[in-house]
Amino acid sequence: MTSHKTLTDEDGYVPSARRLARERHRRARARRATAIAAVSTLVTAAVLFLTITNSPGWDRTKETFFSAHYARVALPQVLEGLWLNLRLLAVCGAAVLAFGLLLAVARTLRGPVFFPVRALATAYADFFRGLPLIICLLMVVFGVPALRLQGVTTDPVLLGGGALVLTYSAYVAEVFRAGIESVHPSQLAAARSLGLTSGQALRFVVLPQAVRRVVPPLLNDLVSLQKDTGLVSIAGAVDAVYAAQIIASKDFNYTPYVVAGLVFVALTIPMTRLTDWVTARMDRRRAQGGIV
């Protein structure tokens, strides 16, 4: 029998001259591509900077949107309002995942007896995916208090969070449903042949695989939810956006809006990079046969 040798010096293996030449060529090509990308980026940034700063209205635009004074004034209040956005993200995100998974399971139930459940879940998903989020917020935030129901809150933060959950649950439900339906039917059949009930097969076999497969799109939905928490400001809740609006309305300087936008971008970028990393990691594992 012949043993497989690895590319290490411990086994006494010496790469051939052709292999070393290929490695050098690959590294040189990677360095050249990196250098070209860096130069291209710098040139593009310089052209954009010169074009914007040399435009006729740049001085007025700079004073109105990029004032250092108003930025310093707005930043503490925007950060204070951001705490509300983060709390909404945490609570609404958990509620959206739970409710969305419940809707997805309801839509995938088999058998004629579950037809009303499937129909209701389908109608819910179709309605709230088609309804613009801003309209849902207005209807919930202003419509629910108008009903004057006993024991029902009128807190704009709770009502705004409820509207976010209603809308995003429809999108997340479709993501979960796609993951559930991507699991091959043989997995369910094998689980049933081992004596598991339909519920047990769904819980222990189908759902774990489905959730792993849809992690990247779920993270993308959470990124969108993080940005849309700023829409609760239309109800008067003082979040980062409304805090910026209060400051901007005093002197008609819109720098606070820019500050609030940059704060949201600073929060979104790490989550976006996390999504990209998780997606790449799962693609590598799938290519290696690590994910069934």
How does pLDDT run across 83-101, given as a tens digit for each residue?
999 999 999 999 999 999 9
Q: Express each pLDDT in 135-154 by its tens digit.
A: 999 999 999 888 888 888 88
Check whether residue 46 and residue 91 sit in a common domain: no
Residue 76 banded pLDDT, cuts 50, 70, 90: very high
Average pLDDT of the chain, as a whole number: 87
Check whether residue 40 and residue 77 sit in a common domain: no
Give 165 or 190, the one with higher predicted confidence: 165
User: Is the predicted pLDDT of residue 204 greater than 90, yes or no?
Assistant: no
DSSP sequence for the chain: --PPPPSSGGGT----HHHHHHHHHHHHHHHHHHHHHHHHHHHHHHHHHHHHHTSTTHHHHHHHH--HHHHHHHHHHHHHHHHHHHHHHHHHHHHHHHHHHHHHHHHT--SGGGHHHHHHHHHHHHHHHHS-HHHHHHHHHHHHHHHT-TT----HHHHHHHHHHHHHHHHHHHHHHHHHHHS-HHHHHHHHHTT--HHHHIIIIIHHHHHHHTHHHHHHHHHHHHHHGGGGGGGT--SHHHHHHHHHHHHT--HHHHHHHHHHHHHHHHHHHHHHHHHHHHHHHHHTT---
Q: Is residue 66 part of a domain?
A: no
Check whether residue 47 and residue 116 sit in a common domain: no
How many independent structural domains does the chain possess?
2
Q: Is residue 187 part of a domain?
A: yes
Q: Is residue 179 part of a domain?
A: yes
Q: Is residue 59 part of a domain?
A: no
- In this structure, of 37-41, 79-83, 199-203, 283-287, the range with the lowest mean pLDDT score is 283-287
Q: Is residue 67 part of a domain?
A: no
Check whether residue 32 and residue 83 sit in a common domain: no
Check whether residue 87 and residue 136 sit in a common domain: yes
Q: Is residue 58 part of a domain?
A: no
pLDDT attached to residue 118: 92
Domain range holding 273?
73-287
Cβ-contact 85, 270 below 8 angstroms: no
Residues 6+ apart with CB under 8 A from 69: none
Check whether residue 243 and residue 166 sit in a common domain: yes
pLDDT attached to residue 200: 86
Cβ-contact 239, 85 below 8 angstroms: yes
